[in-house]
Structures are given as C-alpha cells and as structure tokens.
Structure 1
Amino acid sequence: MMSRFRTKLNSLELKELYLNGRRYTWSNERQHATLEKIDHVFVSNEWDEAFPSCFLSALGTAIWDHCPLMLDMNMEIHIRKRFKFESFWVKAEGFMETVQAAWTSEPVASNVYLTLHNKLKATAVSLQKWSDRWIGNVELQIRIALEVIHRLDVAMDSRPLSAAEVELRKCLKRKVLGLCSLERTIARQRSRMLQLPEGDGNTRLFHQQASHRQRKNTIRVVRHNGNLFTGQEEVADAVDDYFGQAFGFCAARTHALNHTAKPRGSSAAAT
C-alpha cells in the first residue's frame, strides 16, 4: 500500500513536507493508545521553491483525536553568521596567498594553544573578506552577466557588434559557465548530498535539499525545568541556561604553570 502511495505521489510530482516535533498525528484515545501518522501536507517543487522558509508543525489535540497541522509560510530564522569553509576555495586564485598572509600576520603568543587560536581566527576572517571581495554573490553575478548578454543579443539584431562588444559577449558566456558550475558546487556542499555526484544532480535539487535540512534542523520549542519555551530568543536562553548548569562555570585559577622555568640541576649551556 505504501509503495503504491509513493508511486502515486511521484506521478503527481508531489513531495511531503517534513513535520517538526511530532512523529504521529492521530491516537485512538485508549489507555494503550494506537498512534498513527495519517495527516500529511504535500507540495510541488514549484511551491517549495516559492516558500523555502515554510515550517510545518503540529498543535495539541484539544478535544479531537487528530493533531491540527500549522503551516507557517514564511518563518524568519535569524541565524548568527558563522564562518563556513567552502570546498571550492582551494581551487580559486589567491586562496593560498590569503592563507599564508593571514597565518604569518599573527605573532607568537604566551602559549602554543593561544597562538594556534589567534592564527586560525585571523585566517578565517581573511578568507571571509577575500571570498566576499573576489567571489561575492554568485547568483547575482550570474543574473548580471545574463542581462548584459541579453542586451548584446538584442543589439545584434539591429546592428553589427563592435570588436569590444563581441569580446565582452564571449567573455561573459565563459563566465556564466564557470559561475553556474560554482553555484552548483556551493549548493551541493550545503545540501550535504555529498554521496551524489554533481553530474547526477542540478542546482535546483541541491537548493531544495538545503531548504529541507534547514526546516528539519530548526528547534521552535524546548522544555526546560518543567516550562515550555518558544521563540528564538527564549529557546536560545533556555539552551544556554541548561548547558551552563550541566557543565558549570569556570572558576578563577589560583595557580599557574611556568613553562619558561628551567628544571633544577640543568646546566646553563647545552653540552
């Protein structure tokens, strides 16, 4: 039955939205309850692309035996920007020079661990600035290149293009091919579908998988100390408080190790 149902969905080109926070949506309300998931939401690929930040969750059953489903069409998820290493950076021009300059820019600190931390932090900042400056928004670059190519195509219908315009058109076509390949590589990495070769999937597929991962990994409600917390700020505060109690707090040190002191009985000069 389930295989026939999925075959029907594939023929209609529909897919099921991930339900956050619940595994079942119906109960027979008995002491040893039978639980089933019989409530679903199906969307087309076009709808999913139009609403990439939608979020499906279940409400309480109240007086019914079903869980009402609530679909938030545009849930705003504010995620603090973090450094993410892109695998395609190593193939880009200027990557090694940026890493070497950032790594050597930090002086040696009081201990090797702090030195490593400072060097890694400086390298991350430099790579992010380098990427924003030389790579930037790939999708925007593709749109600009396509628009210029379109205008040159329109002009070519009424007049011969100049030598500079012909060379620009050829250059933009090469750039579009490279940027499209780069966009697909970025989308593949963020979708985590690394077992699927790039040649077997397209950018649209990888973007849809990345949107699915974001919806699936979002936490909207947590229970802490018997209370329910909703909303991004309340959830973040509850998580911080929980792990603060679990791991405790760092007490001030009363003693320290002297790494520069020589052991007793050592000679002043090596023999």
Structure 2
Amino acid sequence: MELWEELGAMRSLCEGPWVVCGDFNTTRFPSEKINCIRLSRAMIDLSSCINELELIDPPLFGGSYTWRGGENHRNASRIDRFLYSFPWDDMFLQIRQCTLPSLGSDHNPIVLICGNKAFRRSYFKFEKWWLNVEGFKSKVHEWWSSFEVSGRPDYKLATKLRLLKIKLKEWSRENRGNWKARKEQILSQIGDMEVTQESRSLTDDEQILKVHLAMEYEEVAKN
C-alpha cells in the first residue's frame, strides 16, 4: 500500500525518536472492530509496516474504539492510533494514548500522554526480562571472552564493561520486539474473547484462560 511505503520513506529521513499519528483507515486485529472475526490483508499490512519500522503500538485507554458510524453508531472500530519508536519510549517516564470525548465528529480525538514530560537520564540499566531469554547468560559469557584488551587490570575491567554495555544495548533492541509481539498476541487473544462474549457467555475454561492471559500481560508489560 502506498501509505506504508510513504511511512517507510519518511522514517528513513528521520533520525532519533519518531512518532506518527493519524487515521490509518484500518484496524490491526479483529478485536478492534465490531462484528469482525477475521484478519484482513489490510490488517496484516499495517502490522507488517509497524514491525518493519520498529514502532510501538501502545494500548488505548478511555475506550475500545476511535470511530463510530451507521445507524445508532452500530459500527465501531479503532482506526486512529499513535505509533512511536523505541528511542521515544526510552526518553519518557510514562507513555499512554487515550481517547477524548467526540464533539460532533464520528471520530474520537486521541492524545499521547508522556508522563510528566521529564526526560530520563541517559544511563545503563540492566533489564530483568533479559534473564528470561533463553541463551542470554551464554551470550554474555561469549561476548566477555571475545573482548581482547591489554593494560592495567582496572583499565581492562572498565573497558570490557563498556564493550559489554554496547553489546547488551544492541542485543536488547533486537530481542525487545519478541516481548512486544507477545504483548500484542495476548491483547489480541483477550480481544477475541471479548468479541465472543458479545454473542455468548464464556465457558469456565475460557474464563480461566482470560484471567491467565491478563495476568501474563501484566507480567510481560513490566519488562
């Protein structure tokens, strides 16, 4: 689609943190549209674009949909959204996207709230989720052994720690997408179950699964 190509071209011209917002005229998941049960090609293309550009699609607070139409607003979907890059996520303390009341339009305005607008200090932080990635400890040992530094013991230690920090940041950026994908998968599963609830009651097993998914999302979201 031309829009995704244009976004890719714009991204290549931008350096540093990046945010895009607007009406994408499609949802990402069936759960974001009333009475939708299948992934469409447009949904797949949007998700592919987001992944390729390494953007974050944050959850929406304040409502499930951003557009309503038809008789008595029976049609509704989430076609408006903010997307931002990982550096933007690192710079602010808390980021949320929320809906605002609609004043005459069939779209709800959305706003991106970035905490107290205080930029984080640029410092290295060990992430707890790294320990849950298979092979992480072996990878650290491999990196450490590969660093060839000569000089005083204190200089060697400081230099190897600095080189390790660079490796960890690179590795973290590459693997963070896996956790993001899992969060999106969980939200999609929960959304599909909520769609099911509109037509029938969930079984006991489905209700238990929904609770477990919500608990898993809370755990994954901490990382």
Q: TM-score range by the shorter chain?
A: 0.3 to 0.5
Select the structure with the greater relative contact order (CA < 8 A; seq sep ≥ 6).
2
Give me the TM-score of the superposition, normalised by structure 2: 0.39
